[in-house]
Amino acid sequence: MAGDKQILIFSDAGGTGRSYHADLNAVNRRRRSHYLLEAGWRADNAIQGLGRSHRTNQASAPVFRPVTTNVRGERRFISTIARRLDSLGALTRGQRQTGGNGMFDAKDNLESNYAEYALYELFKQIFQGRFYEVPLGKFEQMTGLSLTSTEGGMKIDLPPLRQFLNRLLALTIGMQNTIFERFELLLSQQIETAIANGVFEVGVETLRADRFSIESCESVYTHPQTGSVTNYLKIERVQKNNIKTADEMLEFVVKYQGQLMSNEKSGNAAVSIPTHSFFDDQGGVIPRLLLVRPQKETRVPVDKLESSTWKQVSADAFVAAWSKEVDQLPKFTTDYIYLVTGILLPIWKMLPQKNNRVYRLQTSDGEKILGRVVSAVDIKSVAEQLGLKDKLLSPQELVSLVLNEGKSEQLPGGVTLRRSYIATEPRIELVNAISLAERLLAVGCFTEIINWQKRIFIPVSDKAPAILAAVIEILG
């Protein structure tokens, strides 16, 4: 604390009642890097130890660094401490992510529901002979775990996850890494799919943006006994777009051994870097690349990328294309969040059951809000259930929901507004509107022949809401 030494090593004996943080009253106020070695099995002990360098009245918070070797099976120990920290956070603070203070990723917890399903998929691939490096007989002999029932089929009561992880530690390093790598890929696949479907379980999420403001607030339910009120909020979110410059992307591509890409058709730029693979139904590996664009990231199978209009280009061509696209992008993005707040249990069955995410945020004027999110595609049905039948979406909201949430909207005259991907680029398409093409072209729409079929689109630009309003007036 006096700055005489730069390194402190302490065990459980020094993990109670002592302070090693960057105290404002201490001579040494430099930021601490806290390395967690041999985390052990008790989350309360780990929190005690981590709390020695993270306390009140400090100049800066420490950087926590849990350490393991490159032996994949050792992740077993980090998994245990991650799971117990998450459980402790759920018990003591009412939300899972607080126990680990955000140190651990979802993939660090190898005993979650996603890991359970990933293990089932792993066992199924081994039993069906789709994991060629690890035949069924060899796996059962090495681990002592039986996957085969007395009738010759796959067991219903398969070995539990903890037993699998413990047996994994008894294998040779090479075999540990081979099996664990497949298990981790399956786990990543489960988590990625859950996130894409909007059902990933993360507890209470704290949203952050440059500005939150309540656009509208309507009372939809009042509890007869307590008088508690349920409100339906429309919240405007304004956040600055985190757009990297061309020079930053040149450093990025070197760091991650990627490639500079440009789309021959659209002229847009991207960086492709390696990412984790997927498995098909036969257990075959589908290699993929992560395509990094100025405002989004997309994972694309290698064969599809190679057959697309994305091609590798020189650094000069990439810089020109990337800079041109970045210059045309808005500095801020505005979208809307729909929350049901207040007393929820009496109307819980009226709300969508497929997505139970809860958000916490603070508006620009200091009001704190905690509520259940309503997915964009469910807004209309929820509004009707709650008696808000006159609630209509504006053209600006529709454009945002179609592009960002994939919402499809039925317009007058049998025309459908939807998001379509053309050469991996999102577009706003008007389906069944080709008979009105001349009138729609006059208000700013455009047509394109794709696979010998004429299709009509609304330009993806700042003018899209105004053009959509004109389209609705024509159809109406």
How do residues 326-371 score in pLDDT, each as one tens digit?
Answer: 888 888 888 888 888 888 777 777 777 666 677 888 888 888 888 8
| pLDDT at residue 84, as a whole number | 59
The CA-atom distances, in angstroms, between 32 and each of 12, 35, 240, 322 are: 19, 9, 30, 38
Higher pLDDT: 90 or 85? It is 85
| pLDDT at residue 97, as a whole number | 44
Q: Report whether pLDDT(403) > 80.
A: yes
Averaged over 64-82, what is the pLDDT?
72
Averaged over 363-388, what is the pLDDT?
75
How do residues 244-302 score in pLDDT, each as one tens digit?
Answer: 888 889 988 888 888 999 998 888 899 998 887 777 766 677 888 888 988 888 888 88
| pLDDT at residue 197, as a whole number | 64
- 159 contacts 126 by C-beta, under 8 angstroms: no
How do residues 97-140 score in pLDDT, each as one tens digit?
Answer: 444 444 555 566 676 778 888 899 899 999 988 888 999 999 99
How do residues 166-176 score in pLDDT, each as one tens digit?
Answer: 888 888 999 98
Which tokens in the block code for residue 190?
């489960």
| Other Cβ atoms within 10 Å of 209 Cβ, number | 19
Which tokens in the block code for residue 362?
């603070």
- 425-431/453-458 β-pairing: antiparallel
For residues 108 and 116, what is the distance between their CA atoms, to the nearest angstrom?
A: 13
What is the overall mean pLDDT for the chain? 81
- 171 contacts 179 by C-beta, under 8 angstroms: yes
| pLDDT at residue 134, as a whole number | 92
| Other Cβ atoms within 10 Å of 56 Cβ, number | 8
| pLDDT at residue 141, as a whole number | 93
- 290 contacts 253 by C-beta, under 8 angstroms: no
| pLDDT at residue 283, as a whole number | 63
Backbone φ and ψ for 144, nearest 5 degrees, come out as 75, 10
Q: Which residues neighbour 251 within 8 Å (Cβ) at sequence distance 6 or greater?
A: none
Q: Confidence class of residue 210 from pLDDT cuts 50, 70 and 90?
A: confident
Averaged over 77-97, what is the pLDDT?
52
In the chain, % of residues over pLDDT 70:
83
Q: Confidence class of residue 7 from pLDDT cuts 50, 70 and 90?
A: very high
